[in-house]
Structure 1
Amino acid sequence: MDGSMRPAVIIDGWRTPIGRHGGAGAAVLDVVPVESGPVEAAIALSIVLLAREIVMGNRGEKHLVHRKPWLVAFAFGLLHGLGFAGALGEIGLRNSDVPLALLSFNVGVEAGQLAFVAALVLVQRIGGQGLRSRLPRLEPALGYALGALAMFWLFGRLPAVFGA
């Protein structure tokens, strides 16, 4: 957030909500069948891959997130939207309630993301240069922690994928 954010990065950032809205809508409207076990495992795996990208990027290695950020953003959104739709399906939502539920979900997620970014900007402004100089040392640890949590989540969902 140092003012050098390129317009392309902002545009790529909008592909995640587009994918999420599309995935949730397609699944809730039965365009795409959703089984919660495999979708939840795939979401966990996507977070493992994101953690890997954080660690590898910190080492200077550029992978998929750097080469095709728009594709990663859209795929993450689509997958996470399918997960939300699966949760809606499990609670037995009536068809007449679907539009309001999707709208509420999407508005809530976007508001949460804006609040998170605002909090990060505030922390950066308060922490100033000292925080910016320490961040590169923290990134690998945060990437490993995120990856460990996501692996735990993934292993917990694998039995549902394989019918165990």
Structure 2
Amino acid sequence: MSIAITLHVLSAVIWVGGMFFAYMALRPVAASLLEPPMRTTLWRDTFNRFFPWVWAAVILLLVTGYWMLFKKFGGMAHAPLYVHVMNGLGLVMMAIYLHVFFAPFRRMKQAISAQDWPEAGRRLGQIRMLIGINLIIGLVVVAVASGGAYLIV
């Protein structure tokens, strides 16, 4: 169980922390200093490095989360409400990430290859909005995970 919780927490920290850094630190600096061709290229290259870590995090979160769910609670029927909240919100986050990866990110890369900077910027705007939503959900999940046993019965 200690291995599962450690991998689970590290995966959440990597994913949510990465989104926090990207949204709160890198995004405003890139927007203020770089013209669209450089800005969208920076984000493409940043996401190319970050998204494999998110894939690993998603897989580990699912494996370790369900491992702990069945090992500790014997399944969903016996899990407390905060575990159901974490599970549901985590699945929503994963669905948003899959959409980002397979739709606007792919289209942004295509637009950059075609040097269609307005389209690349539009797709980056979609990604920014979705990552912002995922960041808020992720912070809620962290709050539920850390205090849910005490806050939600």
Q: With structure 2 as the length reference, what TM-score do the two structures score?
A: 0.41
If asked which structure has higher relative contact order (CA below 8 Å, sep 6+), I would say 1
* TM-score, normalised by the number of residues in structure 1: 0.40
* Structure with the higher fraction of residues in helix conformation: 2
